[in-house]
Structure 1
Amino acid sequence: MSAVQATLEYLQKLPLYKVEKPYWCFLAPKEGFDPDAKRVDNLEFEHHSGITINNIRDLPNKPEIGDCGFEVLSHESKLSRFREGDDITQYRLETEDLLKEALGAVHVKCYDSRLRKNVPFQRSQLDLNDPLLIEGPARGVHNDITYDSGPVVIARYLSEEDQAKYLKDGYRVRIVNTWRTLVPVLEDRPLALCDSRSVDPEDCVAADRIIPNMFGEVYYLTYNPNHKWFWLEKQTPSEPFVFVMYDTKDGSHARFCPHVSFVNPFSRKDATPRESVETRSIVITQE
């Protein structure tokens, strides 16, 4: 299979966003409040069909994170299921070692992780601080960090000692995502990655993301037919993605990587529902 024609979800180009910044609140349910029933955002998406998503397996030259913003690593994780909080801790440490080797980093701080599963959720309680919390696939083409929120994230999670040591000339700081399927062969809701070189700055719309005790900013993308999309057919757990979300180094190289999951038109009806684990890490290299 060379490529698929699929439907992707983009942020609408609404006049509203000229006067009101897009926002999304992720709040836990409580008595009298059900976030599934009451909207806590002003995001309006639209579906664009017939988008070509190229198969990475068919490319003569494999993508590299410094060029297009993403690449596929070869790595066997020691963890395939997450039943205890310590499993998440160990996976984050494993991720730090992986990124040190793959990107030649002198320091890596894995500060966040997400477990996702493509199944309906019906729950009356939600602990947003639970490292084992399972969420559904994220909506809309997006990049998890903006040029404004990147420095905030770095200052939040790097120790004062590490900031004094690395936040100066001679070091490059990136925030990267690693994304790994937890099913043996992924067919259902795979991840699509956009070549950052095909993105116009005007396609990126900053949006507030609000959770209890924390505030962040992400980019949602509006549709542009020039966007070039890629996926990895029948991805396995030993083929994790790594893609950049923020980069302190100026230049024409990839400094972010829009992404979103999509409905695979060739997925079998009885395919195992997508399960995945992703991490967010601060990666520092010496320049």
Structure 2
Amino acid sequence: MATDAHTQLRYLEWQPSYTHTRPYRISTYVGRRRKGKNKAKHQPDEGEGEGEGDNGDEKLPNTNLVFRKSEHAETIHDIRGSVEQFTLDTNGFAYIRCPPPAVTRAWEYSDPKKIEDVFLPECEAILRRGVEGADEVVIFDWKIRKRKSAKERRTRNPNLQGFAKQVHCDTLLTRDEIGTPIMQRIRNHLPEESHHLLSGRVQLINLWRPINAPVEDHPIAVCDGQSLDASKLLETDMIRGAYTGTMLYPLFEPDAKYRWCYMSRQEPEDVLLFKGFDSMQGQVKYTPHTSFIPFISPPSTRPRVSVEVRALVFTHPMEREYT
């Protein structure tokens, strides 16, 4: 039975300073706190709080991003049991039913052998099945999302992150100059294969699934690409140590008519795929998404633990047009 949810989502709010200063966020991963004058502070990741970064004695703001909640409750449509067919090309996202994951406990994701031998091959197989024309799949990032303990916040672990709490579109983080376009980033880091790979279709696909269930704590909402005006997405520089990327945020608009969707009580077998980029003309290019807290939730919810993977999916050249 479908159970639509209602909530207020957080959007990037336009600031007059953006006319002369490009929006940005600087995040750094830190280890245990160091004694002495220049203590390293925990920096917020996507979806965490905002603060300041240390630069010796001089404190510089780590972001000029300002977020605000929607003024009115938004409906997050439950697609469970829906007769409507959602596809990556038409809507920017799709749910596919898969066997349960082989790695089922969060602590197992600290085992590099299991990641390389079991987890990533399983994800690649899902992407090849779920993305039409997936000739080559290059997984470049994965992480566990959960509510982090105080000890976990003090530990350097880029593969363990909190929930993303603002509406956003994912980015490709590489060691390139700020503002480098995604296609150029691929050329820089896959120089031998890039001529062949970039002559066809290129997609950035996010694979998201819970590893405990059902999801009632901070479910994920995805925006139907048919309701998105991509010209209203604002580019934002993301900087993490030596890595840079360009995150996209839909701007806050009081009368925006976004159509939001989710799957109630999502199980590990319910795998969500959604787009971060697509080079093919005439298809949905981006999928804004976020975790959210429904106004009405069960009185006691099991803390959500989920896993997400980001991959470049290449389709060999065909008689189609690419940008």
- Alignment TM-score > 0.5, same fold: yes
Candidates 182, 193, 198, aligned match of 2:222:
193
SS for the counterpart of 2:122 is helix
Candidates 124, 140, 144, aligned match of 1:111:
140
Question: Residue in 1 aligned with 2:183?
Answer: 151
Candidates 167, 184, 192, aligned match of 2:213:
184
Question: Residue in 2 aligned with 1:79?
Answer: 103
Question: Residue in 1 aligned with 2:65?
Answer: 43
Count of residues in correspondence between the two structures: 280
1:271 correspondence with 2:301: yes
1:15 correspondence with 2:37: no
Matched ranges for 1:110-129 at <5 A: 110-119=139-148, 121=150, 125-127=154-156
Decide whether the 8 Å contact of 2:183 with 2:198 is kept in 1.
no
Q: Displacement, 1:140?
A: 1.2
SS for the counterpart of 2:187 is helix
Question: Residue in 1 aligned with 2:257?
Answer: 226
Q: What runs of 5+ residues in structure 2 fail to find an aligned partner?
A: 44-50, 53-60, 173-178, 319-323
Q: Displacement, 1:123?
A: 5.5
Question: Residue in 2 aligned with 1:258?
Answer: 288
Question: Residue in 1 aligned with 2:267?
Answer: 236
SS for the counterpart of 1:57 is coil
- Decide which moves more: 236-245 or 103-112: 103-112
Q: What runs of 5+ residues in structure 1 fail to find an aligned partner?
A: none
Q: 1:33 to 1:149 in 2, by over 3 A?
A: same
Mark the structure with the bigger radius of gyration. 2
Percent identity over the alignment? 25
Q: Deviations over 1:183-210 (max 9, x none)?
A: 1200000000001221123421110111
Q: Deviations over 1:230-273 (max 9, x none)?
A: 0000000111100111111112x211100001002333232111
Distance 2:284 2:231 in 1: 16
Q: What do you get for the CA RMSD once the two structures are aligned?
A: 2.2
Q: 1:106 to 1:201 in 2, by over 3 A?
A: closer
Which amino acid in structure 2 is aligned with residue 54 of structure 1?
A: H
1:99 correspondence with 2:122: no
Question: Residue in 2 aligned with 1:56?
Answer: 79
1:142 correspondence with 2:165: no
> TM (normalized to structure 2)?
0.80
Which amino acid in structure 2 is aligned with residue 261 of structure 1?
A: S
SS for the counterpart of 1:138 is coil
- Decide which moves more: 7-16 or 137-146: 137-146
Question: Residue in 2 aligned with 1:33?
Answer: 40
Which amino acid in structure 2 is aligned with residue 277 of structure 1?
A: V
Distance 2:292 2:280 in 1: 31
Q: Displacement, 1:88?
A: 2.8
Q: 1:58 to 1:115 in 2, by over 3 A?
A: same
